[in-house]
Structure 1
């Protein structure tokens, strides 16, 4: 076991570093904190401002749902799902730790490996689907070779992840300001009739299609939950929780709602089934090469998001290895983790030739199954059980107050997951009885969230929090903090 004192020291600074990040899953001391809460809005906005999001808007129209109903289902789904990701934001500056290290309080030093498997699948799965979407789209538009595009995407994403936290914020901020005016022009051209529909809209409605669109949108931002505090942990302590949560919420939900509605319009009125091709064609109607430029900038945004996935995936991988081995929290280990993940997602991506939209929908479903019980347990513990008070040093030893295996957290996770199984619908693999009764609509996230959270709250009612106070005080003294 590596203690916090053994980790590679980062340089004390008040601003971002332009070198390769030195820290990994270890605690970020107050002297190294920097950044502004207001920067979190554009950061998470850009995270959803790409073709992956546009494709979500195709689901409802593809099932015959009218444009207006698709908008309503999408807005409600995004507003609901974003709540769970946004509330994780306050854990970063409060604790100075990556998201999944903090989960050791609920699941134990080694028990956290259970939700870690789900989160690692999430990060790798998103990069697989992103690679498929981009490489197939660019092949369709420009004839670029799929293997070449995939390898270039992997290299750029890995480099961004290797340089780390501060470079991710810089890249995202630049791409936010580059992307925004392009999509404003394309969207404005639709609103003012410059881009005209090729087909008449319809007002068809069906509860099954409506529920499917809602569920996909809710799932979309819930799957961001394991990321959030990875990118808020360098913020100075004492941030206003409401302001931080609101910035993340508005950024992540605003971009998603915008581009999902754009995708729904493209599918409904232009008969689009490929977001990249549709945006290229629509933008080029406004003036030559606008669509092409928008496509290339959006590809850059999605590639940066792949770097985000690689970075958080690396933190998850190191956390998992640290559960059972003496892993140094060094720069070299971080780089090795990123490269290992890149090899895995590229190998899988290059072996796929299935329809990208089907891969997208199935991946979202599987990610949701694994993440929902975890986010319910984690948020319940943070806001209602321990209320943000933790012994940081005890996260890094199996002999600490959180133990090696957190029975309460693991039980709540298992019960929540088991309860949601009858609601699962994985096309061609499994359809639960309740999903079948609902016409194939997968709403497993609902019982998963409710049951896991309630069970965890009930079985922690007798948790002796007073016994943890001395460990918290000792940890704060050792770290020179008052967390």
Structure 2
């Protein structure tokens, strides 16, 4: 067993020094983060043009801006519930999210969940960078390949330096973008941005559709549920005695407010300006207010978005290292972190250069697929943490296949697979570019294209895991946890 991972590696020190921790435990002596930083951090997590693009989906399916905003807001709030509860695990466990999943899936069995989350992290950045390249090409005529290389490299550099520098980058990005997005929102409210050739009065009629409303809700929900594997990665430096309720509230309010704002802004841009590219729309509104302001808004928007690329790269790095460690034990060194970030960034760049097509259609399809993969995992993880083991884990046993969690935990694996299979008849995957369904499950067809697969997955995976976990010997696990605690106290007294 790697004792250095339980005790903790030396702290990274100054902000411009590469973070020393990765998949190892963060000792309480190094928990220097503050609760006050979590709300703004996750506010910026949704406060960018990617989220604006999600607001284009509803109008693209015939849903009015008002209904799109409502569906998006409800979806965002629903998804944020799961995201926020996962965030509370960070200070209590002092570990990245996916390491903790070894309790439900096993030391090696967690690879199943890791593949799903790694797909999400990499896929998010592929869509992120694709939106940046398309937008800057349309606004400034910049070469897409050059833009992709610069954006991915900037995100990689931030993620290599790690936790502290990323939190600072998020803070400054929020300060820079908040007044500009507020200005765009107010200007749009007063009718700015309507080109003479495209008057709002000539816009096609948009109304209400249950299919479009349910799709927008599901995309909003999946968007913030997708943050579930991230949140503990950025809350694990908080003190262990951090108030759970205050932390959940901070994450929920931050992520839900900005998500609702940006989806609503996107919906109105799509309805009033016929927008299909967020950066182009922001440029149009800004330039109508003050000549040249649109270019400033686009530039600041892209610069403020680079920490989001770093967010995905950083969590992908933690996921990749966890996966490698689950097969062959590794030392979580700075070199391993840097190598992982470079490998992930190279894969993202290759995908961006290889994938062509409508960005919004790609975004829509990807977000739906992402929801399908993450729902069974989040159900299993939260049921285990809050209802089965109730936050009581033997931290040292996460780092060995011979511990109480074993190499394979069939309860979690079975619950995940059963939940995912149960979702398939409810899948409704729609290609907005081709304006047709890519896949329509039997029950989705019966429901007229309304997708409730996410709800089925939550109920089935969570329920199956809870039933299977009734055979766990929690008293034996508690004895192991007490022994580890007493041993830690003895070592501390000896020092």
User: TM-score scaled by structure 2?
Assistant: 0.93
Q: Tell me what 2:90 maps to.
A: 92
Cα deviation, residue 439, structure 1: 3.3
Cα deviation, residue 9, structure 1: 2.0
Give the direction of change, closer, same or farther, for the CA distance of 1:7–1:292 in structure 2 (3 Å limit): farther
Q: Deviations over 1:136-174 (max 9, x none)?
A: 110111110000000001110100010011111010011
Q: For the residues of structure 1 that align with 2:65 and 2:127, how far apart are their CA atoms?
A: 26
Q: For the residues of structure 1 that align with 2:12 and 2:313, how far apart are their CA atoms?
A: 26
Equivalent residue pairs, number: 479
Match of 2:168 among 167, 170, 173: 170
Q: Tell me what 2:150 maps to.
A: 152
In the alignment, does 2:48 pair up with 1:72?
Answer: no
Match of 1:456 among 426, 447, 465: 465
Cα deviation, residue 302, structure 1: 2.2
Indicate if the aligned counterparts of 1:41 and 1:248 stay in contact, CA closer than 8 A. Answer: yes
Counterparts of 1:362-373 in structure 2 under 5 Å?
A: 362-373=365-376
Q: For the residues of structure 2 that align with 1:205 and 1:305, how far apart are their CA atoms?
A: 33
Q: For the residues of structure 2 that align with 1:132 and 1:17, how far apart are their CA atoms?
A: 30
Q: Tell me what 2:218 maps to.
A: 215
Report SS of the residue matched to 2:328: coil
RMSD across aligned C-alpha pairs, in angstroms? 1.8
Segment drifting more, 266-275 vs 436-445: 436-445
Counterparts of 1:245-394 in structure 2 under 5 Å?
A: 245-394=248-397
Indicate if the aligned counterparts of 2:424 and 2:453 stay in contact, CA closer than 8 A. Answer: yes
Q: For the residues of structure 2 that align with 1:8 and 1:89, how far apart are their CA atoms?
A: 21
Q: For the residues of structure 2 that align with 1:19 and 1:156, how far apart are their CA atoms?
A: 16
Q: For the residues of structure 2 that align with 1:185 and 1:204, how far apart are their CA atoms?
A: 27
Q: For the residues of structure 2 that align with 1:479 and 1:332, how far apart are their CA atoms?
A: 29
Match of 2:233 among 208, 230, 234: 230
Counterparts of 1:40-189 in structure 2 under 5 Å?
A: 40-189=38-187
User: For structure 1, which runs of at least 5 residues remain unmatched after alignment?
Assistant: none
Indicate if the aligned counterparts of 2:104 and 2:412 stay in contact, CA closer than 8 A. Answer: yes
Report SS of the residue matched to 1:323: helix
Report SS of the residue matched to 1:204: coil
Counterparts of 1:394-413 in structure 2 under 5 Å?
A: 394-413=397-416
Q: For the residues of structure 2 that align with 1:134 and 1:194, how far apart are their CA atoms?
A: 23
Q: Deviations over 1:50-103 (max 9, x none)?
A: 111011101111111122211211111111111111111110000100000000
Match of 1:438 among 447, 452, 474: 447
Indicate if the aligned counterparts of 1:47 and 1:301 stay in contact, CA closer than 8 A. Answer: no
Indicate if the aligned counterparts of 2:210 and 2:450 stay in contact, CA closer than 8 A. Answer: no
Q: Tell me what 2:485 maps to.
A: 476
Q: For the residues of structure 1 that align with 2:425 and 2:488, how far apart are their CA atoms?
A: 46
Segment drifting more, 206-215 vs 97-106: 206-215
Q: For the residues of structure 2 that align with 1:305 and 1:25, how far apart are their CA atoms?
A: 20
Q: For the residues of structure 2 that align with 1:230 and 1:71, how far apart are their CA atoms?
A: 30
Q: Tell me what 1:11 maps to.
A: 11
In the alignment, does 2:240 pair up with 1:240?
Answer: no
In the alignment, does 2:24 pair up with 1:22?
Answer: no
Q: For the residues of structure 1 that align with 2:15 and 2:193, how far apart are their CA atoms?
A: 44
Give the direction of change, closer, same or farther, for the CA distance of 1:12–1:279 in structure 2 (3 Å limit): closer
Cα deviation, residue 4, structure 1: 3.5
Cα deviation, residue 442, structure 1: 2.8
Report SS of the residue matched to 2:88: helix
Match of 1:37 among 35, 38, 48: 35
Q: Which runs of 4+ in 1 moved over 6 A?
A: none
Cα deviation, residue 418, structure 1: 0.7
Q: Tell me what 1:199 maps to.
A: 200
Indicate if the aligned counterparts of 1:17 and 1:166 stay in contact, CA closer than 8 A. Answer: yes
Report SS of the residue matched to 1:226: coil
Indicate if the aligned counterparts of 2:176 and 2:304 stay in contact, CA closer than 8 A. Answer: no
Indicate if the aligned counterparts of 2:375 and 2:454 stay in contact, CA closer than 8 A. Answer: yes
